[in-house]
Structure 1
Amino acid sequence: MLVMRPATAADRPAAREMISARCAWMEERGMPSWRARLDDLVSHCDNRYGDVWVLEKDGQRIIGRTTLQEHGPPWGWTEQEKAEPSLYMSTSVTDPAFRAIKPGRLMAWWAVDRAAELGLTWVRRDCLLPELAKYYLTQGYDLVREADFKGHRLFMMAREAGRLDLSELLHT
């Protein structure tokens, strides 16, 4: 059984293990990884905002984590877009050992459903890698635009919020 739930301080060791596994997977493929931000990402498990969520398998193993916030970064979005009610999904990391069950897609779909449940209009996210942008397209997100931030090309992505029946995939 898969469950999305708020992260807690008790999740820190499991989150570290999962993020480290993803870092190794990325590094083996010559991709930039989260390694430099590992301690920071782990520390967010019990941040005061309660905006970090984990995907847990069978009540025992964390196989994903993401952050959902009501406001995204100030770059890459128009003033009108920033004013629209939305969730901003960031720092999503999954355990590569569970690729077959597509935890990243499940977390992305859960965010779309959660935004609709909260009465919001959009789920937005961004990424640096073209390969990741292509992957987000397969999750139903659209490329809104490419933006420049401090010399980096960002892919600004969005998907309209909507109720999704995830009951066969996820217990909420």
Structure 2
Amino acid sequence: MFRMRPADAGDRDGVAAMVEARAGWMRSRGMRVFDGAAETIAEQAGDPDFPVWVLEEDSTVVGCTTVFEDSPAWAFTEHERAQPALFLASTWTLPTDGRRLGHVIARWALDHAARTGATAVRRGAFEAGLARYYCEVQGWTLLREVERRGRTGYIMTRPAQYQPGLPVVAPVSG
């Protein structure tokens, strides 16, 4: 059973180690990772401006995501932003042997949104292959592509939905 909870400053080392492991995995496969990713994401743990949640297994951080209650104006219309939705940013997971920790986090987010009154969960990706995976394997719907800082952003959504059988214990709110 996994545990999902709001991160605090005590999680910084665990988050940094997990992100660095994923970044190394990505680099070994020719994927781009921004310099300083592990330090940047770790510093956000416990920062009230960045609502980071950690996924734990046996008290070890195996993933994290940032869950904003506001969707960014650069990606969503005013009408879309007026709807109650969660926006996932900076989702990272420990590389595993097919345990699909990112999928566990996504399912938790859908369930968390449904339990807290949001109608949708949104996310973006800047890698076409990752966006394809989210849509084809995890069931996200591509809303649009946008240009952001010289890169193509793939903007996606899914309706909030309870997830029976979710292998995660978590508080309802954070």
Whether 1:53 and 2:53 are equivalent positions in the alignment is yes
Q: For each residue in 1:115-159, what CA deviation from the matched residue of structure 2 results, as whole angstroms up to 9, or x when unmatched?
A: 111111110010110111012112121101111123211100000
Quick one: distance in 2 between partners of 1:99 and 1:84? 37
Q: Which amino acid aligns with 2:140?
A: Y
Deviation at 1:38, TM superposition (A): 2.4
Deviation at 1:162, TM superposition (A): 1.1
Q: Give the 3 Å change call, closer, same or farther, for CA 73–99 of structure 1 in structure 2.
A: farther
Report the TM-score when normalising by structure 2.
Answer: 0.91
Quick one: distance in 2 between partners of 1:93 and 1:100? 15
Report the TM-score when normalising by structure 1.
Answer: 0.92
Q: Runs (4+) of structure 1 moved beyond 2 Å?
A: 34-38
Quick one: distance in 2 between partners of 1:162 and 1:19? 28
Q: How does 1:1-150 map to 2 (within 5 A)?
A: 1-49=1-49, 51-59=51-59, 61-96=60-95, 98-137=96-135, 138-150=137-149
Any gaps of 5 or more consecutive residues in structure 1? Answer: none
Q: Give the 3 Å change call, closer, same or farther, for CA 166–51 of structure 1 in structure 2.
A: farther
Count of matched residue positions in the alignment of Structure 1 and Structure 2 = 169
Identity, % of aligned pairs? 36
Any gaps of 5 or more consecutive residues in structure 2? Answer: none
Checking the alignment, whether the CA contact within 8 Å between 1:76 and 1:156 is kept in structure 2 is yes
Q: Which amino acid aligns with 2:25?
A: W
Deviation at 1:99, TM superposition (A): 4.2
- Give the aligned partner of residue 168 of structure 2: 170
Checking the alignment, whether the CA contact within 8 Å between 1:7 and 1:50 is kept in structure 2 is no
Q: CA RMSD in A?
A: 1.4
